[in-house]
Amino acid sequence: MATSGYLVLATRGYFFMATDRQLGLRIVPSAALERSRGDKGSCDGVSIIEDGVIHYALTPFSKRENFTIAHEVGHLLVDSFDPEDDMWDWLADQPDSRRLVEDTCDLVARRLLLPREQVDAVLGRERASGTAVVRLYDSSEASREVCAIAIAERLGCEGFVMLAKAGTGRVTFVSRAGRASPAPWSGDQLPMSHPLRTLEPGATQVLESWWPRRTDSDRRRYYEHATQIGGWIYAAFAENDLWGAVRLHLPEPERRRAPSRYQTCRCGWAGVAHGFPCNSCHRIPCPGCDECDCDERERMPRATCHVCFQSVLVHLLVDGLCPNCR
């Protein structure tokens, strides 16, 4: 609500305040956004900056509104950079620049709503975990999403902190630590064979876990600490065993990486081909026609040598003799 030129987000004992002159923004709740939430319903708050106005969906009995508005303040800060700044050139070269901007705005929201000092006061030296997200959420006015971001920052290794709905198995939010991959995205479903599917209400799960790269059978090993409270799954995944989940830590089998090389093909395709070469012709199958040189040879006409009766390509015969018999 706006009062005497001030923007005030009122919560239980927590106030986020900024003057309209400092931000140049008006905050407007939108009934239209309540009826049709963005991202296919993967979040419970949506906002749009347009003409200096943040439109956000009202979320009664939720702390999500704070995160929504603070996230949009992050967009305002990013957009305020000089168009000639080198940052924009660097950003354009990144493989997923849009996701990088969104992650940056998430971090801005976390810093605004949940200062590091407050996190340290609640958790002390406690390790990042699923239950740590719950403790932080219960002890602050920050949303689940902001608490997940704060806990991901405490992992200390590659991994991610994830929120999911227990009833549907739908992932609603993910905060990554480092360049953790593979990792879920908001809106993904928990894999049907994943241990989180068996997590009971009120239970805590600490074990060696995984997340699929492409299929359930192609996985990356993670260690997991998760709990289910109030219909929500709070899970922390880390590449290191932060919670003593297992006694014996064997190295993860090294995955053989397929080579890449520039190729041209008779079908007209030219470019960088990725894959394992054929054992016979040592050529990567063409991405255009899915054939190697062996496939081409098999279609070429063949004939039999008059002496050794070996089948050879027609153009190799001279007076009916193969190269070995001439």
Which tokens belong to 123? 């958790």
The most confident of 66-75, 189-198, 208-217, 244-253, by mean pLDDT = 189-198
Please check whether residue 314 is in contact with residue 302, taking contact to mean a CB–CB distance below 8 angstroms. yes
- What's the confidence (pLDDT) of residue 24? 59
Average pLDDT for 66-92: 70
pLDDT bracket for residue 53 (50, 70, 90):
low
Using CA atoms, how far apart are residues 233 and 195, in angstroms rounded to an integer?
Answer: 12
- What's the confidence (pLDDT) of residue 58? 61
Give the number of other CB atoms < 10 A from CB of residue 199: 21
Q: Tens digits of per-residue pLDDT, 2-14? A: 333 334 444 433 3
Q: Tens digits of per-residue pLDDT, 172-225? A: 999 999 888 899 988 899 999 999 999 999 999 999 999 998 766 678 999 999
Average pLDDT for 41-49: 46
Give the number of other CB atoms < 10 A from CB of residue 214: 8
User: What is the overall mean pLDDT for the chain?
Assistant: 77
| SS3 per-residue string spanning 161-172 | EEEEECCCCEEE
pLDDT bracket for residue 161 (50, 70, 90):
very high
Which structural domains are found in the chain, ordered by start?
1-113 (1.10.10), 123-251 (3.30.450.130), 260-316 (no CATH)
- β-pairing, 53-56 vs 26-29, is parallel
Using CA atoms, how far apart are residues 148 and 67, in angstroms rounded to an integer?
Answer: 12
Q: In what order do the strands lie in the sheet with 26-29?
A: 26-29, 53-56, 47-50
Using CA atoms, how far apart are residues 16 and 71, in angstroms rounded to an integer?
Answer: 13
Average pLDDT for 285-296: 76
